[in-house]
Amino acid sequence: MAVGDIMKLDPITIDPDATVQEAAARMLEGGVGSLIVIQKGSPLGILTERDLVTKVLAVRGKDSGKVKEVMSSPVVTIPIDFDVNEAAELMGSRRIRRLPILDGGQLVGIVTENDLLKVYPQLIEITREKATAGLEGEGRGLPGTCDNCGNESTDLLSRRSRMLCPDCRP
C-alpha cells in the first residue's frame, strides 16, 4: 500500500516569515500538531508542537520570533507512491512522526505515525524499535534532531531515553 492511499490531503502550511504566535494560532485553529513551512511552493521545514516547546517556551519565553528561526529543517519528504512499510521504517530511523508527501515536487499531503498505525497497528514495532534498537554503546548514531539542543545531527545516540548529538552526550 502506498502512503498516497492513507495521507491527509492539503496539510496546513505557513510562511517562514510568519510569527511563532501566528503559527501556534494556526495549529490551534486547524487542530494539528505541525505546520509545513512553505517557501516558493516547496517545503522548507516543519514546525511541530515539540519545536514550540523546546525552542520557544523553554528557551525564549515571550520573545518567540519567526517560524524560520525555530522550525525543523531540512524537512524529510516522501513521494506519493512511497510504500507504507518503508515510511514507517523511515520514521523510526529518523525519529520523526510526520512525513510531508510530494507529487511532482508539490506538497499534496502528509502522513503521520498515527495514520500508519490506524492502517497497520503492528507498525508500532517498526517505528518505535528502529528509533532505539542497538544504539547503546555501539558508537553508531542515527540522523535526526537532538533532544537536548534541538540541532540536526547524523550521529544521535540514546542516553537515558533521549537521543543526543555528540556535543550533548556525556
Q: What pLDDT score does 141 carry?
A: 62
Phi, psi of 104 (to 5 degrees): 65, 35
Under DSSP, is residue 134 helix (H, G, I), strand (E, B) or coil?
coil
* CA dist 29 → 22, 32, 52, 77, 156 (Å): 10, 8, 16, 24, 34
Q: Note the pLDDT of residue 56.
A: 85
Residue that the C-alpha cell 540541532 belongs to: 151
* Domain at 3-129: CATH code: 3.10.580.10
Which band of pLDDT confidence, cut at 50, 70 and 90, is reported for residue 65? confident
**Identity of residue 26:** R
At 55, the pLDDT band (50, 70, 90 cuts) reads: confident
Higher-confidence residue of 110 and 163: namely: 110
Residue 30 has which C-alpha cell? 486547524
Residue 135, pLDDT above cutoff 70: no
Q: Using CB atoms within 10 A of its CB, is residue 35 exposed (0-12), middle (13-18) or buried (19+)? A: buried
Q: Please state the pTM of the whole predicted model.
A: 0.69
Round to whole Å and give the CA distance between 14 and 56. 17
- Quick one: cell of 27? 495549529
The CATH 3.10.580.10 domain(s) of the chain lie at 3-129
Phi and psi (nearest 5°) for 157?
-130, 150
